[in-house]
């Protein structure tokens, strides 16, 4: 279940997907990013009026132009808690923020640390011996990671 981390008591979205990845800490990113994935078709939302959507504005590498991301970052409009990310480029997926999941989840056998090229200099990477690290995105998808480790949820 996804819900606000504050006590604002707003009725919030409830994903009911059996296909949601049970390993919330699959990817640890250098910035605040979703770290779980699920089947977008199975997400049911209650209290949609209490949700705001943000589209990031992204500068190009040459810092001369800015474009608006198509990805939709969903937040509680009352307290600002990040809830989930949806990208129309991958309409079959939904990415709840691990910080908004209040269900006990199993500990994954390894983590993937990604986007390290963008981490703040003071961020320490506490990688375990089995963990993988990437300056950008890895070639392996979240679904492939689950399959490789035998962690896929039947859906």
pLDDT tens-place string over residues 69-100: 999 999 999 888 888 999 998 888 888 887 77
What residues contact residue 54 under an 8 Å CB cut-off, 6+ apart? 72, 73, 75
35-66: b (≥16 Cβ within 10 Å) or e: bbbbbbeebebeeeebbeeeeeeeeeeeeeee
What does the pLDDT look like over 5-22, one tens digit per residue?
444 545 444 444 434 444
On whether the CB atoms of residues 13 and 74 are closer than 8 A, the answer is yes
CATH class belonging to 14-148 = mainly beta
On whether the CB atoms of residues 155 and 39 are closer than 8 A, the answer is yes
Backbone angles phi, psi at 80, to 5 degrees: 85, 5
Residue scoring higher pLDDT (25 or 9): 9
Predicted structure pTM score: 0.60
pLDDT reported for residue 133: 95
Residue 17 parent element (H or E)? none
Domain boundaries, the chain: 14-148
Q: Measured between alpha carbons, how far is residue 68 from residues 57, 58, 71 in Å?
A: 4, 6, 9
The number of CA neighbours under 13 Å toward the Cβ of 86 is 15
Backbone angles phi, psi at 98, to 5 degrees: -55, -35
């Amino acid at each position: 279940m996804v819900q606000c981390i504050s006590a604002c008591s707003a009725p919030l979205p409830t994903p009911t997907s059996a296909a949601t990845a049970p390993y919330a800490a699959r990817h640890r990113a250098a910035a605040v990013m979703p770290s779980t994935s699920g089947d977008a078709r199975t997400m049911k939302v209650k209290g949609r009026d209490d949700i705001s959507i943000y589209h990031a504005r992204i500068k190009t590498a040459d810092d001369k132009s800015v474009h608006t991301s198509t990805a939709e970052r969903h937040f509680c409009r009352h307290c600002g808690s990040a809830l989930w990310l949806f990208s129309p480029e991958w309409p079959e997926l939904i990415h709840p923020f691990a910080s908004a999941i209040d269900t006990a989840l199993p500990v994954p056998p390894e983590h993937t640390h990604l986007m390290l090229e963008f981490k703040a200099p003071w961020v320490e990477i506490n990688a375990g011996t089995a963990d993988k690290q990437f300056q950008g995105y890895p070639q392996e998808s979240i679904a492939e990671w689950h399959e490789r480790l035998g962690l896929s949820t039947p859906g």
